[in-house]
Amino acid sequence: MFPYVEHEKISTTVLFIVSLVAPAVIIFFVVMLLVPGPTAPPGTPKSLIFKRKLWEWNVGWLGLALALALSFFLTQGMKNMFGKPRPDLLSRCDPDTQNLAAYALGGYPNVRNGLTLVSSTICREKDKSKIDDGFSSFPSGHSSYSWAGMTYLALFLASKFSVAIPFLLPFAYSNNSPAANAYSSDGSAYGSSQSPTKEFSSIVNYSHVPLRKQAAAPPTYLLILPLIPICAAIYISSTRFSDFRHHGFDIIFGSLMGLLLAYTTFRLYHLPIRRGGGWSWAPRSPSRAFGVGVGRAGYIVNEDAPPRKDDLESGGKYPAMESSDAGLRDGMSSSQTQRI
């Protein structure tokens, strides 16, 4: 019989601070200090820089909140659905074993040592909430919540500080391409409408660059940034085992669920770490902010055209260009496309 630990190593309050408050604060300061980075040319309007900071901050918090919210609702829902006993349930219950027959609901009393199914009324513990919590072992809430928050923070830091395993990019999507910059040379938020491959080919010919010189590992000291949140999540999960609150499978399942939710929500709002330049996806076009319907691809109107004047990051510099149907627009010549 495992003992009931009154004072947990990581309380719910500490879990909330570590998994939600701390990542939110770190994301805010990283965005304010690092965005837009060295790719913004001199003379870029401060209003445009502030809008980029605001957008990165918005999606940074949005992804974190979504990961933690999904983790909370899925975990609590499964706890109530399955009702798996915790390892310390008998210590919580303090069963009246002297009157076992009075609480019996079934079983096999004739088997060696006896197997008797009893009701929860056998518990001499009068605190009903304490007993109910004893049937909330699967999955581990501390594990799912901590891994959701800490994994998201680790991915966010790895993205912003370019901490990733090096690999060879296709030529057209090189990280050195102007497409990875925050702004084009004229200060626009989306860069030039010219093909990134054509722009980059005038700068360097990758066919003459040895493969080993096309990528490199990040500085070793930067590895500590994503490792700290991961180590925090590992420690929080381990305390649920040493405090006798969860079985091993409960902790593993909760950890994997939190990790998967964090990765999913991060990729929902951010470009791939290794070739995204540390940026988030652009905002949806206003005309498709709440849906696109059938027959339209994506939430961005005219991806190869300058942005609408009312997009968040465009700064109102370019005229808008939009067609009612993406498939029809792609089949029209440039002279046929209506400019508003």
Q: Can you give the pLDDT of all 340 residues of the chain as single tens digits? A: 899 999 999 999 999 999 999 999 999 999 999 998 888 888 889 899 999 999 999 999 999 999 999 999 999 999 999 999 999 999 999 999 888 888 888 877 666 666 788 888 999 999 999 999 999 999 999 999 999 999 999 999 999 999 999 988 665 445 555 556 666 555 555 444 444 444 444 445 555 778 888 889 999 999 999 999 999 999 999 999 999 999 999 999 999 999 999 999 999 999 999 888 899 999 988 888 899 888 888 888 864 555 544 444 444 444 444 433 433 344 334 433 333 3
95 three-state secondary structure: strand
pLDDT at 306: 52
N-term to C-term CA, the chain: 74
pLDDT for the residue numbered 19: 97
Of 81, 28, 18, 20, the closest CA to residue 56 belongs to 28
Torsion of Cα atoms, 256 then 236 then 152 then 67, to 10°: 70
CA diameter of the chain:
91
Answer whether 329's CB lies under 8 Å from 211's CB.
Answer: no
Q: pTM, whole model, 2 decimals?
A: 0.80
Q: What is the predicted pLDDT for the residue at 335?
A: 39
Who contacts 322 (Cβ-Cβ below 8 Å, separation ≥6)?
A: 285, 287, 301, 302, 308, 340
Tell me the two tokens of residue 27: 């994301």
CA distance 21 to 5: 26
Q: Round to whole Å and give the CA distance between 240 and 135.
A: 15
- What is the C-alpha separation between 133 and 131, in angstroms, rounded? 5
Helix, strand, coil shares of the chain as percentages rounded to 5? 50, 5, 45
